[in-house]
Structure 1
């Protein structure tokens, strides 16, 4: 049987002494054979009075006493043991379903355990072993506490003459540390301020709106935080978002003002090179290399049809997967991607529809959670989810309807793993996202 105690726990001493008290000789003989065979020293007594005499003469670690004995029952005997030798462990052996007697033994004798007759050899041996292990641990704990107290007193005496010097040195170190922290914080703030200035300068050209890069950066940071990204990664994606257009610094005003869907030929080729140009501009600064790697991959697509390397899936840095979505969400609204300025809900819908194709589905899910916040998604109490967010046990809040008007599943249908897989397969084959609403109260 495996033990929950660490391997360094001291094992009970092989020569631990047990005192068995019972008015039946055959019971005593059985206990003597059982425990002697396992290396224990076994003493016996046929009455409580005799057991107390043995206890006065011998060093005993653990007592096993029968409950029903003439003159002095087990409860009274174990209470006497507790009063005379509180360090001795006490076990009660009973063949009767006498709850009151057992309670008396627990209350008066504070027994460790009670064991019913007939016992199982393995069980009683295990109980005794665990009891002795516990006793050894308690004794070791007391020894270590005493040793610790003694050592602490010695250290206190030694340190009395050093306290003043330590306190003075601590004050000096604290002052130096606070000065270093303040200087470092100022450097960080100046660095970030410089980045924001560069971002603002880049926004002075073309049709870029003042503050757009900051809005993109704030959204990217929120998505990264929603996805539990590391603080350094959150910072890198925030800086990359502020500088996402820095590679366009050499573009003509006409090219900057042209929506992406209208770019062709040489102009489109030049546009696709701006992430690499951004990386080249930032690479000389060691603190910006993480952001530079994000900028290089900002035009990559989750399905592998992006630029410049055609990376797909999780081969694309997380920061780049976040940045591409944040940039597109605002560019759709500001005319940077298509000629028409889309409403925020229209831009959101296009982003959701492109999950698994242009965008990482997990990033899309985090994006939706950031936009939706804690408010209700549906007056009826439903919550709109992506198919990849479904789990067995969820209940549909609305009928599941395809883009062609075909009802696939009725409202109140309980989803299981098979149905969820079918919904995901249907979306994959039709290349359309299904509007999936589930009940908030779903199990």
Structure 2
């Protein structure tokens, strides 16, 4: 509060003068009214208390020597009942003991001796009121600060609670998004596997041919240290490596590669380009499309469609060429007779550096000669041994090549019952590979 505001407040203050001598009261009334104060008077302490009960008073000036109730007792009651009212003692004699009582009991602001100097008493009152106003303002500001601090504390607590609640909400939304994204990825791969099974039905391959090629391709990719995205592209390309043959007639599909000539051979050599064109519209499959386009390229540069050589051929295509040919040789798709695994392996090793990438062949040999199972971990169980919460380690495929459930599917009681019913109706036992139940703690 500035000085002008204090001066305005003090000049409109209300004073109460208490004295048993009327002439003293008249003198005080004239003096303070001329200074702009509102002045009330009482000729005894009891009358002064009555006025205080009716009127708000800023400052009391009381004479010390009064009958019945002296100034010390009067001011003591004022202090007890109206502690914010400033108290001044007016005394006309040098009674140190009485002044001490007034100071101790009434906690007076100042005492003035009679006769007084007008200028001094007016200045004393003005300073006292200014001090009172400052103390009241200080108290108001302290109360305001305390209240605002409490409000700020409550606001901070509210904000912290809101932030915590929002954080929990965002975390839940993030977890839900991650779960949904993982589910979409799983469904995406499952859809590719279903499409691969449909292609096999048209291509006259043995049931599960594409999955064998895909599993071997992924194992080679892991052995060569390819990143997860590259390995995924290789795996999907292997599942769909025959998609470009979808328009072939039955005769062309049934003819081994070494028996194809002329127009039929030319049509066969175009299937990688057609496969890439089918997949190019899908952003997620463009890496796999590039692999499929180059699957018939040879390491020595005599392949199709561009005659790309060596490391210029996408690494996924170099891997797919080895994995696909390994099983095609066993199934009679490349030569008239069906080779045994060791015979197919021998031909691939013999073509290292010409048809195939030597590094890919080395990784291939390490896998097939070491009997590795790559990432097909798990144990094989009977359907009656399945428990809810177990996770499929491999795709669940029927003897006819129909994919019933994809790998990583979490089994529940209803699904286990359906698997058991399928075995009963088909009279054939399924090959069920599972991992232990997932930890949900």
TM-score by length of 2: 0.48
Bigger Cα Rg: 2
Q: Identify, as 1 or 2, the structure richer in helix.
A: 2
Instruction: With a CA cutoff of 8 Å and minimum separation of 6, indicate the structure with the bigger relative contact order.
Output: 2
